[in-house]
Homo-oligomer: A and B are copies of this chain.
């Protein structure tokens, strides 16, 4: 998310001979200087994945025609799922938050310090608790209450707002409300949640209490794309820390805040830098 004059191809397709050569030839023949190439073949499912970043300066194909050329010359031939991202676009990030502030503050710190070169056009919360924090940074804060009865209706407002602000990604920074399929399908693979366990262990509510009760010796956090099945979307990032019998539930929650915020930030960072490919509910993170 250091923006720069580059473009990035993210693509995957069934593996076959010649894919890398085709893509690198396509770029070289048009005078594109490759500054990074990562590829992977999953021998277990036969899928090929690639991420290539090249400099736009001197590249022979105009930006507005790049997608069309790539589709015709490469993607269709190999039956690819793909996208091309241009590095000079400033990502537009929405934050949804409830009452736990650690992830929320952490993202705002990265934004305000300039470590993340993003726009935050809006914050949505089912509480008004963090309104003053948003105001200090001049970020519009929408307090949209939620409960079972008004969920559908309120989500409509949210979808409208998110569309209106043209967001690229929605961060659930410990947003303690279930999203319906409506909002999820409107922003497919664009909603990133942090779950406070090392999934698939301890799906659902109060994972720290469950971890305490099971007596595990490690606890963790998981950054993942939101899908309709609860806590079952593609995992982008995870981390764990050792715990012992000395860690009370309270202490687990305290320690958990720090891994939650870092794991969420890692997931968002990978997404914003166009490093994540999704296939069969799993990610390749280059």
Contacts and interface: CB of A to CB of B under 8 A. Distances in A.
Interface of A: 17-18, 20-21, 24-25, 28, 33-37, 39-44, 49, 101-102, 105-106, 109, 112-113, 115, 133, 136, 198-202, 212-218, 220, 234-235, 237-240, 242, 244-246, 248-249, 254, 257-258, 262, 265, 281-285
Contacts of A199: 201, 214, 216
Contacts of A106: 106, 109
Given A44-B248, A245-B284, A215 B235 contact: yes
A275 to B, nearest CB: 11
- A interface: dominant SS: mixed
A42 to B, nearest CB: 7
A251 to B, nearest CB: 10
A229 B257 CA distance: 32
Q: Which of A102, A216, A257, A285 gathers most chain B CB within 10 Å?
A: A216
12 contacts: A20-B34, A35-B43, A36-B41, A40-B246, A42-B245, A105-B109, A115-B257, A198-B198, A215-B234, A215-B235, A215-B281, A217-B238
Contacts of A36: 41
A258 B249 contact: no
A254 B284 CA distance: 21
Contacts of A257: 115
Contacts of A237: 217
Given A41-B36, A258-B262, A21 B17 contact: no
Nearest to A262: B258
Nearest to A224: B215
A235 B258 contact: no
Contacts of A43: 35, 248
A42 B249 CA distance: 10
A220 to B, nearest CB: 7
Contacts of A235: 214-217
